[in-house]
A and B are shown apart, each in its own frame.
Chain A
Amino acid sequence: MPLLALGVVALVGLAVWSIFVGVSDVSLGSLLESGWTDAPTQILLESRVPRTAALILAGSAMAVSGTILQMLVRNRFAEPSTVGTAEAAKLGFLLVLILVPDAPIPVRLIAAAGFALLVTALFLRILRQLSLQSPLVVPLVGILLGGVINAAATFLAYRFDLMQSLATWSNGDFSMVLRGRYELLWLAFALTALAYAFADRFTVAGLGEDFTTNLGLDYRGVVALGLVIVSIVTAVVIVTVGMIPVLGLVVPNLVSLMLGDNVRRALPWVALLGAGIVLACDIAGRIVNAPYEVPVGTMLGVVASALFLYLLLRKHARLA
């Protein structure tokens, strides 16, 4: 517990740093000198604070999604971008945009999340019917499935001149976050909280269907709940800030190494670490090439895939 408090303090520190990084002069001094309607305060409220909030919300939600998926699939390598959820959500948004161009945002969201849910559930169903010898088959087939869906999406986007939308959804970038344009992420946060309330059920599901049934729980119900949470979170993150890849893979694995997989114990750390890594990558992306920005998706791609490779090659025995 004291360690967790320390983690929260560190996250707050990162958040404060994140708020004060940027091109325009927003510092404690300029804030104190300026009035309520002056530029520094306005930038703080309109852009900096929303951005930092969005980073924390999206980072923690994606990391938690990874944990839930890993429990449901019973596989260390599951996360929204390795089981097809993310790509399916993108294709879903694209289809809505093509078929019903002026659908309101909630409709789009529901359609995309529903599509993602469908694809993920189908994928899990196929996997369950195979007697898989290797735990690596799941992410392998999932990544390829994602690639195929992506190809279909690219083709459609190309035909209907929506490549730009697709590119925005594909690469997490927080530079466009402003007040009024990120609040959907609070929905992801609410779902993350819901996941915490059901943490024990996810742990039990992680031990398998027989185990779950023996304890008198409805396995299918738990899986359905988890998939709904993951699909909506993924769709929300994609449409507000763009996909944040591999985070859901790396963070739960790191936490699992330290604390194990009791979801109730691990989840606060997963959320904290997820938010922290995204914050740190975003700050680094803003500093490394100032005044230009490197999108957080690119920074994460480097940091997270290097971490993941380390996990993969460190000790193969642990993967099963």
Chain B
Amino acid sequence: MIVARNLTKAYGEARVVRDVSLDIPRGGITSIIGPNGAGKSTLLGLLSRLLPATSGSVRVDELDVASAPSDVLARRLSILRQDNHVTARLTVRDLVAFGRFPHSRGRLTEEDRRRIGEAIQYLGLDELADRFLDEMSGGQRQRAFVAMVLCQDTDYVLMDEPLNNLDMRHAAGMMKLIRRIVDDLGKTFVLVLHDINFASIYSDHIVAMRDGAVVKQGPPSEILQSQVLREIFEIDIPVHEIDGRRIGLFYV
């Protein structure tokens, strides 16, 4: 379980995340939604120790994020941020292999190699494995980074907009893949998502943020309600049930 208590992040006067207390249960997919500037990415940064909190605390199971050794955390929790522009020329396989770094410190074992191969296969990157990242499309690169994070094999995986740069086929494929990993391996995923319908269909739990605070959380059926969405996004979104799934028509 990830437990955040009274988490605040301030840049000077501006408080980007204000006094957030949140429990993210073990197992399943938790999606964080909310309008631009709600503090979603910042919250993810705080949960994953990439950003130091101004005040408040985060615990991942028994580990206090602020004080636990970074390499211990790296075997428990992984984070993929939004813009992964790489200046280094690495092949997909090189990149994915670095996911094993917290476990093997760069000396790859047979076991590591097997996992690297698996992760590459999982993301359908077999044919691209020896291509350089800077020679690939944005979507392919995104999948390579996801493969690396999977390779890191942590209980908790945090992803900031993992569907960025992916076309419809790959976006849906990515969400199905995450669902499969969660169901098969019992992992915990925390995703920042822009599309409320992806959140609705694939998550177990949705956290809605606005102005740096958590305004609502609960199962998709509770969040995907017109009046709740109006509170979060300040627009009217009609919600329809299609094949037992709640879909918000924010296009109209």
Contact = CB atoms under 8 A, between A and B. Distances in A.
Does A touch B (CB under 8 Å) in the complex?
A: yes
B50 A210 contact: yes
B87 A217 contact: no
A208 B70 CA distance: 16
**Which size bracket describes the interface of A in this complex?**
20 to 34
Q: Which of A206, A216, A260 has the most CB of B within 10 A?
A: A216
Contacts of B71: 216-217
B87 A216 contact: no
B49 to A, nearest CB: 7
Contacts, number: 81
A210 B86 contact: no
Given A206-B87, A260-B89, A200 B106 contact: yes
Interface residues of B, number: 34
Given A75-B87, A215-B101, A320-B87, A210 B72 contact: no
A276 to B, nearest CB: 21
B102 interface: yes
B89 A261 contact: yes
Contact of A318 (B75, B98, B134): B134
A34 interface: no
B74 A210 contact: no
A260 B87 contact: no
B61 to A, nearest CB: 16
B189 to A, nearest CB: 15
Contact of B98 (A76, A215, A218, A256): A215
A249 to B, nearest CB: 15
B87 A203 contact: no
A135 B94 CA distance: 24
Contacts of A261: 88-90
B84 interface: yes
Contacts of A200: 98, 101, 105-106
17 contacts: A74-B87, A135-B87, A204-B98, A208-B84, A210-B50, A210-B79, A214-B74, A215-B74, A215-B98, A215-B101, A217-B70, A217-B74, A218-B70, A256-B89, A257-B89, A260-B88, A261-B89
The 4 residue pairs across chains A and B that have the minimum distance between CB atoms: A216-B74, A216-B71, A200-B106, A261-B88
Interface of B: 48-50, 69-75, 78-81, 84-91, 94-95, 98-99, 101-102, 105-106, 132, 134, 149, 152
Interface of A: 71, 74-76, 135, 199-201, 203-204, 206-211, 213-218, 256-257, 260-262, 264, 318, 320
